[in-house]
Amino acid sequence: AQSVTQLDSQVPVFEEAPVELRCNYSSSVSVYLFWYVQYPNQGLQLLLKYLSGSTLVKGINGFEAEFNKSQTSFHLRKPSVHISDTAEYFCAVRHSGAGSYQLTFGKGTKLSVIP
């Protein structure tokens, strides 16, 4: 079984400041990792994913995340946030093996960008 912990339920940050949204996971097998963003009254949009290779992953809208296997973390970062980044962010993990349909989500982090 796998689980995802998003340590912060809410993160307020001033516009143009940097932000880090934390995600830790636990799994007994190798996993794929994802960050999704959900704007108010919208579906989920894939921001970025880690499957293999370079541990620093760049995504859309200027976001990046770093996979740290020893710390079982996949924190999301952006050097300078914009008002339009206000949204709910979900970290998710999936077992990398065959037939591994189960996408396990964290509880989400609400990012509020303050003008």
Which among 13-21, 37-45, 55-63, 66-74 is the span making contact with another protein, rule CB under 8 A? Answer: 37-45
The CB-of-105 to another protein minimum distance in angstroms stands at 4
Query: Can residue 36 be called a binding residue for another protein (CB under 8 A)?
Result: yes
Query: What is d(CA 30, CA 97) in angstroms, rounded to the nearest whole number?
Result: 8
Give CA 63 to chain center in angstroms: 10
The CB-of-106 to another protein minimum distance in angstroms stands at 7
Judged by CB under 8 A, the residue of 73, 90, 93, 113 near another protein is 90
**Tokens 């999704």 — which residue?**
36
Query: What is d(CA 29, CA 16) in angstroms, rounded to the nearest whole number?
Result: 38
Query: What is d(CA 46, CA 26) in angstroms, rounded to the nearest whole number?
Result: 21
- Binding pattern to another protein, positions 5-34, x when CB under 8 A? ---------------------------x-x
